[in-house]
Chain A
Amino acid sequence: MKLVTAIVKPFRLGDVKDALQGAGVVGMTVSEVQGFGRQRGHTEVYRGAEYQVDFVPKVRVEVVCDDADAEGIVEVIVGSAGTGKIGDGKVWVVAVDELARIRTGQRGRDAL
């Protein structure tokens, strides 16, 4: 099993969710996060005082899936989250050792 984690622009979340659902993904976890990549932060000016805002608001999307589905999910996220501009985010995949469905106690792929 794999864990696919994506950091995307907050306003792309709706499209990413719809695209993943369209591709057959049945569950995901979404959280509000902050960070920066190559685009760095940005500058804001309040009453003449310049503030360097280092951390930019982003949304983290996490999907646990079967090994065979991971590549397709990455493709779907890249295709739906992108704007072509700097700051679009990243997607990565890591191996998941164990998985359990809390309600039934099912383990491994049965819990997906």
Chain B
Amino acid sequence: MHYDSGDTAWVLASAALVAFMTPGLALFYAGMVRRKNVLAMLMQNFVVMAVVGVLWVWVTYSVAFGPDWGGAGLLGTLHFAGLTHLHQAVPGFTGRQAQTIPPVAFVIFQMMFAVITAALLSGSAADRMKFSAFVVFIVAWSVLVYAPIAHWVFSPNGWLARAGTEDFAGGTVVEITSGVSGAALALVLGRRRGWPQDLMRPHNVPLTVLGAGILWFGWFGFNAGSALSATGAGQAFVNTNTATAAALLSWIAVEKLRNGRPTTLGAVSGAVAGAVAITPACGFVDTAGATVIGAVAGVACALGVRLKYRLRVDDSLDVLAVHGIGGLTGMILLGLFATATVRGVNGLFHGGGATLLGHQGLAVVCVAAYAFAATALVAWVIRATIGLRVSADDEQAGLDLSQHEESAYDLESAFGGSQRVAATHQPPGEHT
């Protein structure tokens, strides 16, 4: 079997880029929560890296990418559990999809998608979920929700992939799945105490900006790495940047028109929304398509953040609005803007008719419906057994203290420290 060294190097580097996105997401979210829940948010994201890091090699990789179980395209078998049989090619990747990288490189690259998708759910559950329940939830959700959906779409043997759905880097598997699952988790979990009437301002917007910057950086691996080819990655790479930039601009344009001021949080939220929307489309559209997809996503998600107030569901950090609506935007617009000049398939606007659009719509509906129902069931079972939420007292005290016995910021000594620093600002002579 011939492996291409350039392709392999790019996919391994991309795996590292995507791995860095989860710490970035941790900061992105930690800045948006209140001061008493910062470490809990960081901890949830980091523990997902560990939980899925082990689970993926022992179970979920094989469920997602193993030989199809029964031929229905619903699940993979445990053939690759424990990363055995990796001398065999990843099933289904034949013909023009034949991989030019060792399967083990594909394992680690895809692991990072499983990690960050699960980590995104922390944003919906912010400020009120027991750490123990979160860990159990992530294990069950990875096996029952993420791995099957990844099989349907990412494995060429999956039923949606065979039906003709196109999803370059995870508009359904990552974005719609996380957005809808997040909303389902938030629904079963219940609202934060005091939401929506109480003030729950982001406690540190600069952390959020730093996190968004890391996400933007890592997304080049996420999207362009999904080409699984170094030479084939360029257009996806450029499209990722174009759409991210366009969405940042369109989100702050909405704010300027609606509220009078463009905000920092809006700008970085727009960037993430654009990266989300171009995720399924980045390998199928040209520059015009990427620009429009980004611009539309920025507007759609900026308006979509209002939805949770209408639904009265405390999707605390807007996972549904940014990832669900962003992913929906990208999936549907891919059905319009795909062009064969980039990758072999035409959408409605390039003479391909409505066929692709229909396949995209089918995937959106089926993935969203399954993710919502299965996530709600997993969350409900955990709520009925070990419980999902911390006590009212623990929620009031904050998760940092009640779940981890730590505080993110030692403000008392920070204030005292500045006084001591001031006291040392004396002429040198006085010290002698």
Residues in chain B near residue A45, CB distance under 8 A: 255, 259, 261, 263
Q: State whether A32 touches B415 (Cβ < 8 A).
A: yes
Partner of A46, one of B202, B302, B306, B309: B202
Residues in chain A near residue B196, CB distance under 8 A: 49
B127 within 8 A of A: no
What does the 1/0 interface line of B290-321 toward A look like (CB < 8 Å)?
A: 00000000000010011001000000001000
Partner of B201, one of A32, A44, A48: A44
B266 within 8 A of A: yes
A44 to B263, CA, bound (A): 10
A46 to B196, CA, bound (A): 13
Q: Determine the residue in chain A with the shortest Cβ distance to B32.
A: A46
Q: State whether A47 touches B269 (Cβ < 8 A).
A: yes
Chain B, 294-350, CB within 8 A of any chain A CB: 302, 305-306, 309, 318
Expressed in whole angstroms, the minimum distance between the Cβ of B187 and any Cβ of chain A is: 19
Q: State whether B265 touches A47 (Cβ < 8 A).
A: yes
Q: State whether A51 touches B266 (Cβ < 8 A).
A: no
Residues in chain A near residue B309, CB distance under 8 A: 49
A53 within 8 A of B: yes
B199 within 8 A of A: yes
Q: Interface size on A (CB < 8 Å)?
A: 11
Q: State whether B255 touches A48 (Cβ < 8 A).
A: yes
B96 within 8 A of A: no
Q: Determine the residue in chain A with the shortest Cβ distance to B251.
A: A47
Chain A, 1-45, CB within 8 A of any chain B CB: 32, 44-45
Q: Determine the residue in chain A with the shortest Cβ distance to B309.
A: A49
B2 within 8 A of A: no
Residues in chain A near residue B431, CB distance under 8 A: none
What does the 1/0 interface line of B266-295 toward A look like (CB < 8 Å)?
A: 100100000000000000000000000000
Q: State whether B255 touches A46 (Cβ < 8 A).
A: no
B420 within 8 A of A: no
Residues in chain B near residue A32, CB distance under 8 A: 415
Q: State whether A47 touches B201 (Cβ < 8 A).
A: no
Chain A, 87-105, CB within 8 A of any chain B CB: none
Q: Determine the residue in chain B with the shortest Cβ distance to A32.
A: B415
Q: State whether A48 touches B415 (Cβ < 8 A).
A: no
Residues in chain A near residue B318, CB distance under 8 A: 47
Q: State whether B199 touches A46 (Cβ < 8 A).
A: no
B258 within 8 A of A: yes
Expressed in whole angstroms, the minimum distance between the Cβ of A48 and any Cβ of chain B is: 5
Residues in chain B near residue A44, CB distance under 8 A: 201
Q: State whether B258 touches A48 (Cβ < 8 A).
A: yes
A102 to B199, CA, bound (A): 42
A42 to B199, CA, bound (A): 13
Residues in chain A near residue B201, CB distance under 8 A: 44, 46, 51, 53
The listed residue with most B CB atoms (<10 A of its CB), out of A46, A48, A51, A52, is A48
A52 to B201, CA, bound (A): 10
Q: State whether B263 touches A46 (Cβ < 8 A).
A: yes
Q: State whether A51 touches B199 (Cβ < 8 A).
A: yes
Partner of A53, one of B199, B255, B269, B305: B199
Residues in chain A near residue B202, CB distance under 8 A: 46
A83 to B81, CA, bound (A): 69
Residues of A within 8 A of B (CB): 32, 44-53
Closest A-B pairs by Cβ, 10 of them: A47-B305, A45-B259, A51-B199, A48-B305, A46-B265, A51-B201, A46-B202, A45-B263, A48-B306, A47-B269
Residues of B within 8 A of A (CB): 196, 199, 201-202, 255, 258-259, 261, 263, 265-266, 269, 302, 305-306, 309, 318, 415
19 A-B pairs (CB sep. < 8 Å) = A32-B415, A44-B201, A45-B255, A45-B261, A45-B263, A46-B201, A46-B202, A47-B266, A47-B305, A47-B318, A48-B258, A48-B302, A48-B305, A48-B306, A49-B196, A49-B309, A52-B199, A53-B199, A53-B201
Q: Beyond A45-B255, A49-B196: 12 further Cβ-contacts under 8 Å?
A: A45-B259, A46-B263, A47-B265, A47-B266, A47-B269, A47-B305, A48-B255, A48-B305, A48-B306, A50-B259, A51-B201, A53-B201
